[in-house]
Amino acid sequence: MNYQEIFIEVNKKLKSCKDDGTVASYIPELHKVSPSKFGVHMCTVTGENYGFGDSEEKFSIQSISKVLSLSMAFEIEKNQLWKRVGVEPSGNPFNSLVQLEYDAGIPRNPFINAGAIVIADILISKLKNPNIEFIDFVRKLSGNNEINYCERIAKSEKSKGHRNAALCNLMKSFGNIENNIHDVIEFYFDLCSIEMTCSELARTFLFLANYGVNPLDGEKIISSSKSKRINAVMQLCGLYDEAGEFSFKVGLPGKSGVGGGIAVVHPGKYSMVVWSPRLNKKGNSSKGLRFLEEFTSYTESSIF
Amino acid sequence: MNYQEIFIEVNKKLKSCKDDGTVASYIPELHKVSPSKFGVHMCTVTGENYGFGDSEEKFSIQSISKVLSLSMAFEIEKNQLWKRVGVEPSGNPFNSLVQLEYDAGIPRNPFINAGAIVIADILISKLKNPNIEFIDFVRKLSGNNEINYCERIAKSEKSKGHRNAALCNLMKSFGNIENNIHDVIEFYFDLCSIEMTCSELARTFLFLANYGVNPLDGEKIISSSKSKRINAVMQLCGLYDEAGEFSFKVGLPGKSGVGGGIAVVHPGKYSMVVWSPRLNKKGNSSKGLRFLEEFTSYTESSIF
Amino acid sequence: MNYQEIFIEVNKKLKSCKDDGTVASYIPELHKVSPSKFGVHMCTVTGENYGFGDSEEKFSIQSISKVLSLSMAFEIEKNQLWKRVGVEPSGNPFNSLVQLEYDAGIPRNPFINAGAIVIADILISKLKNPNIEFIDFVRKLSGNNEINYCERIAKSEKSKGHRNAALCNLMKSFGNIENNIHDVIEFYFDLCSIEMTCSELARTFLFLANYGVNPLDGEKIISSSKSKRINAVMQLCGLYDEAGEFSFKVGLPGKSGVGGGIAVVHPGKYSMVVWSPRLNKKGNSSKGLRFLEEFTSYTESSIF
Amino acid sequence: MNYQEIFIEVNKKLKSCKDDGTVASYIPELHKVSPSKFGVHMCTVTGENYGFGDSEEKFSIQSISKVLSLSMAFEIEKNQLWKRVGVEPSGNPFNSLVQLEYDAGIPRNPFINAGAIVIADILISKLKNPNIEFIDFVRKLSGNNEINYCERIAKSEKSKGHRNAALCNLMKSFGNIENNIHDVIEFYFDLCSIEMTCSELARTFLFLANYGVNPLDGEKIISSSKSKRINAVMQLCGLYDEAGEFSFKVGLPGKSGVGGGIAVVHPGKYSMVVWSPRLNKKGNSSKGLRFLEEFTSYTESSIF
């Protein structure tokens, strides 16, 4: 059976399960999405592509973009980056201020909101036109020049962004934010507002499945060592406080977003994106998790 | 011996102790004060006054003003007030976000920063000209129409106010702030910037030593029941996480500020203010605490 | 109206309120008590006595005995005592290990379980026959030589005492327990198992309403200063994490137990005990609290 | 270069670094070890062996045995096991009671002390002769029938085991310990007292590098799926609150012990054990970590 056929097989198995969970509702724009959407796309490092379901429909990638902003900032800042953000799992829900206060303004990792805000601050400090340069980076990786921020989503988030403003102010009080708080928060929400299809996003993540090099054109995006390290951080911190469960059941580095997407990479083999908008209590795609669990069991895919 | 003589006596005793601690340095304006200043003033409910040392010199009352804004808000909002702020000691340092997050945006009490910010928010919602009406309230209590906010202090605080902005944003995310964050924070810092002498401040607190009534002119400021309740909150929460120690050693309701002032009341007897700028590790006036401990031991003053 | 008549009046008012809450059920022995029991007894420092309802019926005083063991240990150890236990409110439920771990084995105050276990440890170290000497102390205060530990209650508690064993072991690991863990836990549970009537318990607490001296025979039990300090600790820590609410509404130092009793003192005036077995969510007598609130409002009793 | 030569090369590089950290001192027996010991041993799934330094000297494997007790309990209990212990990183130091209290007695993962105590409890419930059957399991895996518990070490630990007794009592209070506390703690300390050489321990871990099957004799120890899951748990939780750093820098699943050992596996390739007694502040072998970091960089070993 090829991957296409396996997608069909695994999807059949899931039919019997109830697709529980609820679509993210904290901003109206996310809530509009049809909850029954379901798409999968895989890109192999040898150039093959396998899609299933709504894999060519745009969705809001949300926190998945944190892997891309980290990649860009890590390449610029090198290991200096880790003076301002850790690599340890947080052990707390994704937006917690508790840990941040105990750790004197240093976020536990770059994938909790506080950490991603620090990454946004770094990009603002180091880039001339952060908004343009970042979207260009994503466009290049995805192979689609039309990829863009979604103004509606970003605006919707900004109107509800008091908690992220709290995080940013708290870190500023500890000296871990260099730029104007308003600018940092705006850029942070822009980063999270990008819309992509499963196939575009899978292609975007392909360099992390190929040790930092885009296998389609041979361009080195980041060093092999950095690629491995980003995957390690995804493995430990990519699914908020469900990272352990995900490693345990899926066994691949991955990153989720509240738009219902999950991107995973199997180093040396493939990148894959699943999308299903209903979220479980920990904020991860409910059907997406089950699909990945079944798929990796079926194919015996696991880095472990 | 009358109180004047006791002040002299107690002060002699303290001579032998080193005046340790350091003047608050987080804003430049507070740091300019001479660390050796020391003043005491007592007003009895029978109209007597006893001053000692630098008791007629202005200092920044800082958090002591939180008792006054609470008094005003409590009179306006009645028991509705306690839906938005608790009356329990915090068990954490005065600016902690931890407790606030666990308690879903409801501050433990009105004397930690978060609680005082909620009180400021209530006054903005309920008063036409909050800044003017509040200072008028203080002027009336103090008997001095010249009392005012200190713009320099307020400006200095505002430039460093990221942590309070974090608290305010966090509470807004939980729905416990009604007004614009900028306005609330500005008003909060104005409240804390008032400058008074020991004698002015002692007179201002006299109504709390007299069951809500100003004994000098018989005007009822708040009800007897509210006065007792404000004193109870001072007893349990007035000295941050040193409230227990203070109750244990001094045995009177009191409120401290990082300007080095401490106001106490002995219900039915007197109000008293001490001022000495050097602070201990918990942010309370070091010599002020020692003076009050010796004074209350000497006079066997205690509500217990 | 004398106090007797006021008791009747206040009790009428409470009739309209539902007596909610549930009898402590964690040990079978406590659960056997009839939930509708209600008793009050007051002893004034001038020797008057006022009883109401089931005030001559025995109940398990439970944690209220922590005030008595503290009194005994404070008199023996003097201020050395406070090196091993603090005087700050805990800000956490009464059996929490969290605070204890952060504070390296020093309990926040002598009324949370951990603190009372340290007090038990001190009494074991300092007394020849701790069990006998402690009950003698209580008998003398109560004026009843028949007062005793209740073996059934103590046994019942011991069979469920894993959490207290956890606390004791944790403190031992920090070096804050001197004696054998088994002995300390046994003695601790014995202390809590004492049974008394409202009138016996009110008489027992009378010395704390009279600055350390038993007003009936003039015997000095503890110094005036110590009496005030114990009252201060009761005020701040006597009702677990409802201490603020209690100070706010009742305004007197008090101590509660899960047997449904609450003892309060009005320094210079009276000691009073209420008993009603139904507990609110914080573990304090539900009707007892309401009675005290109404009674102190009615009589305008408050130390504030 | 073969692995042997790489060991020599990497060791040369480390010569320039100071071997900082301190030997575990909380029990006298561990403190007796010479701090300059250093050994490495690798077993490949193809049957090759590479040793270096003090690789044939016995050391106390301590917490590394938690992987072996987990393997045994997982095989017996199947997924029922995960009702009593989680798979999430703790985000707190290894012996913390804080998390345990918040999570109502369910340890975050089987490698923190509380989790390993639950595993010990499970083995006691399920095995006839837990001590004998467990050591037999280890003997079989290691290929050495002389492997044994070290009574001196176990006794030394037991005399200091108040904190683990606290953990065990706390879990018992939540109903998550089935057996007698004394028995559970005794067995837990026995498990941690085993002494092995680097080469014995590397061979013992070989089944986890070969998907559950001992490659030397083809015996299936646990299922492939279970093997992957144990490795996933090691990756996320194997080095206490340094797990993220370890994943980031070393990129292999591993487990450390306070005896200075670290066991790692590269699935499909090899198992490897390093031993150096000096520990860093997080309780992991200081030189061991540096060796593994250099070795995996040099050989580009990483599962990511």
A104 contacts chain B (CB < 8 A): no
Cβ-proximal residues to C166 (8 Å cutoff; 6+ apart), any chain: C97, D97, D165, D166, D167, D168, D169, D170, D173
How far is B172 from chain A, CA to nearest CA, in Å? 6
Question: What is the reported pLDDT for D18?
Answer: 79
pTM of the entire predicted model: 0.91
Question: How far is the alpha carbon of D268 from chain C, nearest alpha carbon, in Å?
Answer: 42
The gap between the terminal CA atoms of chain A, to the nearest Å, is: 23
Distance in angstroms (rounded) separating the CA atoms of residues C186 and C191: 9
Q: How far is D79 from chain A (nearest CA, A)?
A: 12
Would the CB atoms of D233 and A251 count as touching at under 8 Å? no
Q: Which of residues 137-176 of C touch D (CB under 8 A)?
A: 160, 162-163, 165-170, 172-173
Question: What pLDDT was estimated at residue B92?
Answer: 66
Length of chain A equals 304
- Cβ atoms of C59 and C33 within 8 Å: the answer is yes
Q: Is B101 on the interface with A (CB under 8 A)?
A: yes
Nearest Cβ partner for C245 among B88, B224, B251: B88
Nearest CA to C110 out of C130, C135, C82, C137 is that of C82
Cα(A191)–Cα(C300) distance, rounded to whole angstroms? 61
> Residue D143 corresponds to which amino acid?
G
> With contact defined as beta carbons under 8 Å apart, do B261 and B204 qualify?
no
Please answer yes or no on whether C232 and B242 come within 8 Å at the CB atom.
Answer: no
Percent helix, strand, coil in chain C, to 5, is 50, 10, 40
CB of B235 less than 8 A from some CB of C? yes
For testing contact with chain C, the best of D95, D97, D159 (most C CBs within 10 A)? D97
pLDDT values of chain A reduced to their tens digit, one per residue, 304 residues: 789 999 999 999 998 777 788 998 888 888 889 999 999 999 999 999 999 999 999 999 999 999 999 999 999 999 999 999 999 987 666 567 777 888 889 999 999 999 999 999 999 999 999 999 999 999 999 999 999 999 999 999 888 889 999 999 999 999 999 999 999 999 999 999 999 999 999 999 999 999 999 999 999 999 999 999 999 999 999 998 899 999 999 999 999 999 999 999 999 999 999 999 999 999 999 999 999 999 999 999 999 9
pLDDT at residue C171, as a whole number:
96
Residue A119 tokens read as 């990454």
pLDDT attached to residue D17: 76
Q: Which two tokens mark D277?
A: 């007694």
Which C residues 71-90 touch B at CB under 8 Å?
A: 86-90
Rounded CA gap, C137 and C227, in Å?
16
Q: Would you state the structure tokens that stand for residue A115, as one six-digit string?
A: 């950490």
CB contacts, 8 Å: B181 with chain A: 162, 165
Q: Which residues of D fall within a CB distance of 8 Å from C102? A: 98
- Backbone φ and ψ for A150, nearest 5 degrees, come out as -105, 110
Q: Which long-range contacts (CB under 8 A, 24 or more apart) does C144-148 make?
A: C144/C200, C147/C194, C147/C195, C147/C196, C147/C200, C148/C194, C148/C195
Nearest-angstrom CA–CA distance, C284 and C249: 14
Q: What are phi and psi of A55, to 5 degrees?
A: -75, -10
Structure tokens belonging to residue C140: 């003398």
Q: Which residues of B touch A185 (CB under 8 A)?
A: none
Q: Which helix (H) or strand (E) holds D22?
A: strand D22-23
> DSSP states of A117-177 as a string?
HHHHHHHHHH-SSHHHHHHHHHHHHHT-TT-B--HHHHHHHHTTTHHHHHHHHHHHHTT--
CA angle, residues B144, B150, B156, in degrees to nearest 5: 160
Cβ(C247)–Cβ(C231) below 8 Å: no
Asked if D62 and D261 count as a contact pair (C-beta separation under 8 A), the reply is yes
**Based on the number of CB atoms within 10 Å of its own CB, is A17 exposed (0-12), middle (13-18) or buried (19 or more)?**
exposed
From D160, D170, D181, residue closest to C97, measured CB to CB: D170
In chain D, residues with a C-beta closer than 8 Å to the C-beta of A99 are 91
Low-confidence ranges of chain C (pLDDT < 50): none
Decide if C97 and D172 are in contact by the 8 Å CB cutoff: no
**Which residue from D153, D179, D212, D185 is spatially nearest to D26, judged by alpha carbons?**
D153
Alpha helices by DSSP H, listed for C150-272, are 151-158, 162-173, 181-192, 198-209, 224-237, 243-249
Query: Which residues, given as ranges, of chain D have pLDDT below 50?
Result: none
The residue among B64, B85, B79, B43 whose CA lies nearest residue B238 is: B64
Q: Is the Cβ pair C229, B304 closer than 8 Å?
A: yes
User: Around Cβ B8, how many Cβ atoms within 10 Å?
Assistant: 12
Length of chain D: 304
pLDDT for res C95: 64
Residue-level pLDDT, tens digit, chain B, 304 residues: 789 999 999 999 998 777 788 998 888 888 889 999 999 999 999 999 999 999 999 999 999 999 999 999 999 999 999 999 999 987 666 567 777 888 889 999 999 999 999 999 999 999 999 999 999 999 999 999 999 999 999 999 888 899 999 999 999 999 999 999 999 999 999 999 999 999 999 999 999 999 999 999 999 999 999 999 999 999 999 998 899 999 999 999 999 999 999 999 999 999 999 999 999 999 999 999 999 999 999 999 999 9
CB pairs under 8 A between A and D: 113
State residue D15's pLDDT score: 86
CB of D236 less than 8 A from some CB of A: yes
Distance from CA of D225 to the nearest CA of C (A): 37
- Domains of chain D with bracketed CATH: 3-298 (3.40.710.10)
Q: Do D232 and A251 touch (CB under 8 A)?
A: yes
Q: Which of C228, C265, C281, C298 to mutate to test binding with chain B, by most B CBs within 10 Å of its CB?
A: C228
In single-letter form, the type of residue at position B262 comes to: I
Q: Contact B196/B147 with Cβ under 8 angstroms?
A: yes
Q: What is the pLDDT of residue C20?
A: 83
Q: Return the DSSP state at C297.
A: H
User: What ipTM was predicted for this assembly?
Assistant: 0.94
Chain A hits for B167, Cβ within 8 Å? 166
Cβ atoms < 10 Å from Cβ of A233: 28
